[in-house]
Chain A
Amino acid sequence: MNYILHLLIMIGIYLVLSYGLNLVVGFGGLLSLCYAVFYGIGAYASTLLMVKVGISFIPAVLLGIVIAAIFAFLIGVPALRFRGDSFVLVTLGIQMIVFTILYNWVDLTRGPYGIPGIPRPVVAGYEITSLYEYLILVGVILLFSLSVLFILYNAPFGLALKALRDDEMAAEGLGKSPVHMFLYAFVISAVFASTAGSLYAAYVTYIDPTSFTLDESIFLLAILLVGGAGNRIGPFVGTVFMILLPEALRFLGLPDTVAPNVRQMIYGLTLIVLMFLRPQGLAGEYRVK
């Protein structure tokens, strides 16, 4: 039972991430490889605020969001001048740089040693300890995030993003500014990544930089590429597929030593096959350009 609860919590956290990234990848049509940066900044900011400054969970999460949003703004302004290959490369570069800093700035982040013993979240004077309570916390945040994002998806903002994705010059001619719209999308998606990061840190109670590597960014992008992006159902399909696949392999009786590699190989193969058969992903509507 605990095992199922754990899976549900992880799916919840990754749903927040994938629906947030959907705004940039699916609606904006920008393949970002630095989403794990904001996930990591959220996790580290809220953790350090709780452990070193000693403020409680909810203000720490909110401050973490503010910090991630500021970083997203500072990264987005130069990065969003690019499209296509150059955008992928610049975000990849940012991902590598931020990881190097998280890993090597030992005074602040304790680097490879990680931060153990993160206090359990206290919400309204009530300490969350059991898995059920965590599931409720994640569920509430997920519901809140999804309602905000679903409104944005259908709002003029989401439609403007789609228009810019499909034909930037035409949309610009209609008065939709790519500079502003993409930057808003980038910052808003970072807000959700940061929330998910704080939740992850509070749930696992230990973080180190290896959770926020380039591989994690690729994994998050792969969720959207496999499931599909640009609508409401794609990220859900992708998250469930990518999180439950390793568990399905476990039931097939694969030994633990080979399971992670076999899982990754299936991800790789899935991406190749999808590019042949369904470039828009299993349930998506955005085709990669």
Chain B
Amino acid sequence: MTLLLQLLHNALVNAAIYSLLAVGFGLVYRSMRFFHIAFGAVYIVSTYMVIAATVNFGLPLPPSIAIGLLIASVTGWIMDRTVYFPLENAGATPGVLFIASLGIYILFVNLIALLFGNEVKILLKGIEPSFSIGSLIFTRMQFIQFAVGWIVVLFFWIGIRKNTLIKGIWAMGETPVLVRVLGLPYKRMRTVVFTLSSALAGTASILTALDVGIDPHVGMQALLTGAVAVIVGGVDVFWGWIGGALILAVLQSIAVWQFSARWNDLITFGILIATLLLRPQGLFSPKKRREER
């Protein structure tokens, strides 16, 4: 029983991080309909900027985190303005955007590796204080991850229901042509999509790095986790993304308990392929008629 609770608790903490990644990735994938691989680049840029601010400029941690998030958001915005937006104006297909995005990802990862080195960097030194409730044990960092992750997700959900701009962004994925027809601020909406998505990537990245550190190559893993959660849950349903993140986290913690963390990739991509084969619209999407797709 205790073991089960502990597993569930670990899964919920991981799911909070995975949800951040899923919302960040899903925001771009759902509204722009292309595969934003450079999301993984933004993910590592944010934490490395925090490291640069604390280690190289000697700032305390909280302002450094703010700087990291800010630079991440600006990076995402610049990617859109210099690459995606011009390409799309030139009539690029999703495949072309995908490859350009891959190029950006490779460029940034190696730039970071060049500047900071390939080894794992740690943000917080020392052992985290831990608490226990009954027989459950959790660290301070797990608590912060859990709280921040789920609060951000909740805010997003409210945003999608209440905020006109975010509602517009959500509708953009449905029929992109209508955005311009209706005179909605297309450029501003893109800016919002990319800055928000990048800020979410940064949040997830910094929260993870505070716990286990970071190296330049974890961006791909983070991107894939977010992408798999979105696609497994269903691209068109917000709670589906969160559901996908939960399923991934629960199954991974069961796998860690039963086998070993080394087999996590097998679980993640096994679920992805099984979902695409058996229920291509995602687990939580209603089935669509053929002409609706």
In the assembled complex, the Cα of A268 lies from the Cα of B108 at a distance in Å of 9
Main secondary structure of the interface of B (DSSP, over half): helix
Q: In the bound complex, do residue B93 and residue A265 qualify as a contact, i.e. CB atoms below 8 Å apart?
A: no
Q: In the bound complex, do residue A269 and residue B103 qualify as a contact, i.e. CB atoms below 8 Å apart?
A: yes
- Give, as a whole number of angstroms, the nearest-CB distance from B215 to chain A: 13
In the assembled complex, the Cα of A31 lies from the Cα of B97 at a distance in Å of 13
Q: In the bound complex, do residue B269 and residue A261 qualify as a contact, i.e. CB atoms below 8 Å apart?
A: no
Contact string, B86-97, partner A, CB cutoff 8 A, digits 1/0?
110010111111
Q: In the bound complex, do residue A89 and residue B227 qualify as a contact, i.e. CB atoms below 8 Å apart?
A: yes
Neighbouring A residues of B276 by C-beta, 8 Å: 82, 86, 89-90
Q: Check A279 for interface membership: any CB of B closer than 8 A.
A: yes
| Contact residue among A86, A97, A104, A262 (Cβ-Cβ distance under 8 Å from B280) | A86
Q: In the bound complex, do residue A268 and residue B114 qualify as a contact, i.e. CB atoms below 8 Å apart?
A: no
9-residue interface stretch from B54-62, B129-137, B180-188, B258-266: B258-266
Neighbouring A residues of B266 by C-beta, 8 Å: 97, 100-101
Within 8 A of B (CB), among A66-112: 78, 81-82, 84-86, 88-90, 92-94, 96-97, 99-101, 103-104
Q: Check A267 for interface membership: any CB of B closer than 8 A.
A: yes
Q: In the bound complex, do residue B106 and residue A265 qualify as a contact, i.e. CB atoms below 8 Å apart?
A: yes
- With A84-B94, A100-B266 known as contacts, the answer to whether A288 contacts B107 (CB < 8 A) is no
Neighbouring A residues of B99 by C-beta, 8 Å: 225, 271, 275, 288
Max chain A CB contacts within 10 Å: which of B108, B263, B273?
B273
Neighbouring A residues of B265 by C-beta, 8 Å: 96-97, 99-100
Contact string, B225-242, partner A, CB cutoff 8 A, digits 1/0?
001000100000000000
Within 8 A of B (CB), among A251-284: 258, 260-262, 264-265, 267-272, 275-276, 279
Total contacts A-B at CB 8 Å: 112
Neighbouring B residues of A115 by C-beta, 8 Å: none
Q: In the bound complex, do residue A272 and residue B262 qualify as a contact, i.e. CB atoms below 8 Å apart?
A: no
Q: In the bound complex, do residue B93 and residue A261 qualify as a contact, i.e. CB atoms below 8 Å apart?
A: no
Within 8 A of A (CB), among B93-131: 93-100, 102-111, 113-114
- With A89-B231, A288-B99 known as contacts, the answer to whether A97 contacts B269 (CB < 8 A) is yes
Q: Check B220 for interface membership: any CB of A closer than 8 A.
A: yes
Q: In the bound complex, do residue A271 and residue B280 qualify as a contact, i.e. CB atoms below 8 Å apart?
A: no
In the assembled complex, the Cα of A288 lies from the Cα of B91 at a distance in Å of 12
Q: In the bound complex, do residue B107 and residue A279 qualify as a contact, i.e. CB atoms below 8 Å apart?
A: no
Q: Check A214 for interface membership: any CB of B closer than 8 A.
A: yes
In the assembled complex, the Cα of A279 lies from the Cα of B94 at a distance in Å of 12
In the assembled complex, the Cα of A89 lies from the Cα of B16 at a distance in Å of 23
- Give, as a whole number of angstroms, the nearest-CB distance from B115 to chain A: 9
- With A82-B276, A85-B94, A97-B266 known as contacts, the answer to whether A265 contacts B110 (CB < 8 A) is yes
Q: Check B286 for interface membership: any CB of A closer than 8 A.
A: no
In the assembled complex, the Cα of A84 lies from the Cα of B276 at a distance in Å of 13
Q: Check B35 for interface membership: any CB of A closer than 8 A.
A: yes
Q: In the bound complex, do residue B106 and residue A279 qualify as a contact, i.e. CB atoms below 8 Å apart?
A: no
Q: In the bound complex, do residue A276 and residue B269 qualify as a contact, i.e. CB atoms below 8 Å apart?
A: no
| Contact residue among A89, A104, A289 (Cβ-Cβ distance under 8 Å from B95) | A289
In the assembled complex, the Cα of A78 lies from the Cα of B111 at a distance in Å of 37
A85 and chain B: residue at smallest CB distance:
B35
Main secondary structure of the interface of A (DSSP, over half): helix
Q: In the bound complex, do residue A271 and residue B106 qualify as a contact, i.e. CB atoms below 8 Å apart?
A: yes
- Give, as a whole number of angstroms, the nearest-CB distance from B211 to chain A: 23
Contact string, B209-225, partner A, CB cutoff 8 A, digits 1/0?
00000000000100010
> How many residues does chain A have at the interface if contact means C-beta atoms less than 8 Å apart?
40
In the assembled complex, the Cα of A99 lies from the Cα of B264 at a distance in Å of 12
Neighbouring B residues of A258 by C-beta, 8 Å: 114
Q: Check A171 for interface membership: any CB of B closer than 8 A.
A: no
Q: In the bound complex, do residue A100 and residue B106 qualify as a contact, i.e. CB atoms below 8 Å apart?
A: no
In the assembled complex, the Cα of A223 lies from the Cα of B253 at a distance in Å of 38
Q: In the bound complex, do residue B263 and residue A262 qualify as a contact, i.e. CB atoms below 8 Å apart?
A: no
Q: In the bound complex, do residue B277 and residue A78 qualify as a contact, i.e. CB atoms below 8 Å apart?
A: yes
Neighbouring B residues of A268 by C-beta, 8 Å: 102-108, 110
Q: In the bound complex, do residue B220 and residue A88 qualify as a contact, i.e. CB atoms below 8 Å apart?
A: no
In the assembled complex, the Cα of A275 lies from the Cα of B277 at a distance in Å of 31
| Contact residue among A88, A269, A272 (Cβ-Cβ distance under 8 Å from B35) | A88
Q: In the bound complex, do residue B94 and residue A264 qualify as a contact, i.e. CB atoms below 8 Å apart?
A: no
- Give, as a whole number of angstroms, the nearest-CB distance from B91 to chain A: 10
In the assembled complex, the Cα of A92 lies from the Cα of B40 at a distance in Å of 15
| Contact residue among A92, A261, A289 (Cβ-Cβ distance under 8 Å from B113) | A261
In the assembled complex, the Cα of A99 lies from the Cα of B107 at a distance in Å of 24
- With A96-B265, A101-B266, A271-B103 known as contacts, the answer to whether A88 contacts B110 (CB < 8 A) is no
Neighbouring A residues of B109 by C-beta, 8 Å: 264
Q: In the bound complex, do residue A265 and residue B111 qualify as a contact, i.e. CB atoms below 8 Å apart?
A: yes
Q: In the bound complex, do residue B93 and residue A289 qualify as a contact, i.e. CB atoms below 8 Å apart?
A: yes
Give B residues with C-beta under 8 Å from A: 35, 83, 86-87, 90, 92-100, 102-111, 113-114, 220, 224, 227, 231, 262-263, 265-266, 268-270, 272-273, 276-277, 280
10 closest A-B pairs by beta carbon, nearest first, are A271-B103, A268-B106, A268-B107, A93-B269, A288-B95, A272-B103, A264-B110, A275-B100, A261-B114, A261-B110
Give A residues with C-beta under 8 Å from B: 31, 78, 81-82, 84-86, 88-90, 92-94, 96-97, 99-101, 103-104, 214, 218, 225, 258, 260-262, 264-265, 267-272, 275-276, 279, 288-289
